[in-house]
Amino acid sequence: MITSHKPRAVCLVSGGLDSCVSAAIAEETCRLAFLHVTYGQRTEKRELKAFRAIADHYRVQERLETSISYLREIGGSALTDRRIAVPPGNPAREGIPATYVPFRNTHLIAIAVSWAEVLGARFIYIGATEMDSSGYPDCRATYFQAYNRLIEEGTKPGTSIRIVTPLLHLDKAGVVREGIKRAAPLHLTWSCYAQEDAACGRCDSCLLRLKGFREAGAEDPIQYSTKYSTKT
Amino acid sequence: MITSHKPRAVCLVSGGLDSCVSAAIAEETCRLAFLHVTYGQRTEKRELKAFRAIADHYRVQERLETSISYLREIGGSALTDRRIAVPPGNPAREGIPATYVPFRNTHLIAIAVSWAEVLGARFIYIGATEMDSSGYPDCRATYFQAYNRLIEEGTKPGTSIRIVTPLLHLDKAGVVREGIKRAAPLHLTWSCYAQEDAACGRCDSCLLRLKGFREAGAEDPIQYSTKYSTKT
């Protein structure tokens, strides 16, 4: 029997581009455990399909698929509240977008920490990006620093769990390049906030993704429902 | 129409003694919103009943009852994992008890913060006690300080939400005295970890509660299934 001495990492894998590339980076030094959380977002079935495809690609045994229904009950975001429209994208505009889910990453990471404590995992990988985060406050370096401090305070003595954010200072083109370099299965990922069959090509998330591939000089391998402009 | 200018507080109300007294303190200066979270603990139905009775007592309109099933899926605690026995109580012993749920308070407070952001609430009241917390790491002052920092970093600019821990430095007798002083409905609360019909009188939580009433020179108004010792 071969025993791996690599540390274990819990990877938060939404099924999107960033989390796929983050997992590809974790895979180089860690044994992977994949966590997927649905929270009532519009495209949750499509994202779960992407999660499973990426987990299969990396032959991940330890998987946890769970849901936090209360974010929909709480509401307040176009991503989870059907009464608030997903606005047409304009990633460069100022302020917090309507797709902001209050304090969302805190919930996702808290689940990862509880699971990591039980699994004995050392790291939590999250594909957050500060630059292209559309102004979400829970995607900034200072937020993750504060969270690492909270983990030190809130877990059992002797526990060592740290959040790792390998993409934090990359723009979307940088994420695409990192993914291509590591042969990450980008064709299995899903980013669209609005549709589940083919990506809409118009929401914030699609526009950022397309811009990233364009700037990285690469073709996005997923299917779009509309002809999109290749101009910046 | 009378408009209250009191700030709103989200109170985490498990249905136990501490959360009831914490809410009684919040009620003096705030409009109340009550949050109850079940997480697969053994006595969750009984705790929910206590939550509703306390909410009715304070005529709370804003209520959120939700569940986080993933803590049971993750396991690792006698409170949520049926394969781990609840040990007979000995509150004075060292170390983290088997009833510890990894990082539990982080999840509960994260829900409260998301809800507070949507409601426009200013405070989150939690009845955590450092002294009688059985060694849970997520009940210490340094933990809540770190969490307040995370809230500052992880919420929208202009949001001001703070965790308030009015019982943090009290022992259980002090909590009982605070409750009696404010006419908190202690007869509606539930603390037992092991049973749902009458309190067992033997688990950690029952022993602490009984000791608290004894030291406060008061009679515990709830029913116990066993004759318990009044000796210290």
> Would you say B86 and B195 are in contact if contact means Cβ atoms under 8 Å apart?
no
Interval A197-209: pLDDT, tens: 899 999 888 999 9
Q: Which of A64, A103, A147 sits opposite B117 (nearest CB)?
A: A103
> Which chain A residues have a beta carbon less than 8 Å from that of B156?
96, 100, 102, 137
> Which chain B residues have a beta carbon less than 8 Å from that of A139?
none
Please tell me the predicted confidence (pLDDT) of residue B230.
47
What's the whole-number mean pLDDT along residues B161-170? Answer: 96
Q: Would you call B107 an interface residue with chain A, using a CB distance cutoff of 8 Å?
A: yes
Q: How far apart are CA A49 and CA A55, in angstroms?
A: 10
Size of interface A-B (CB pairs under 8 A): 144
CA distances (Å), A139 to each of A96, B148, B158, B171, in order? 12, 17, 17, 39
Q: Which of B66, B71, B106 sits opposite A70 (nearest CB)?
A: B66
Q: Which of A74, A143, A154 sits opposite B103 (nearest CB)?
A: A154
Positions in chain A whose pLDDT score sits under 70: 1-4, 75-101, 132-135, 226-232
What's the whole-number mean pLDDT along residues B104-111? Answer: 92
Question: Angle at which helices B104-119 and A141-154 pack, to 10 degrees?
Answer: 140
Q: A143 and B150: CB-CB below 8 Å?
A: yes
Q: A118 and B103: CB-CB below 8 Å?
A: no
Q: What is the DSSP letter of A192?
A: -
| Nearest alpha-carbon partner for A36 in B205, A56, B20 | A56
Q: How confident is the model at residue B63 (pLDDT cuts 50, 70, 90)?
A: very high
Q: B154 and A105: CB-CB below 8 Å?
A: yes
CA distances (Å), A118 to each of A171, B100, B117, in order? 34, 11, 30
The topology (CATH level 3) of A8-215 is: Rossmann fold (3.40.50)
User: Domain residues of chain A, as ranges?
Assistant: 8-215
Interval A64-97: pLDDT, tens: 998 887 777 786 555 555 555 555 554 444 455 5
**Number of CB atoms found within 10 A of residue B232's CB:** 6
> Which chain B residues have a beta carbon less than 8 Å from that of A115?
74
Q: Calculate how close chain B gets to A82, using CA atoms only, in Å.
A: 15
Q: Which of A62-66, B180-184, B218-222 has the weakest average pLDDT?
A: A62-66
Please tell me the predicted confidence (pLDDT) of residue A231.
45
What residues 27-66 of chain B have any CB closer than 8 A to a CB of chain A?
A: 37, 64, 66
Q: How confident is the model at residue B92 (pLDDT cuts 50, 70, 90)?
A: very low
Q: How far apart are CA B212 and CA B210, in angstroms?
A: 5
Give the residues across from A125 on adjacent strands.
Answer: A11, A164
Please tell me the predicted confidence (pLDDT) of residue B5.
83
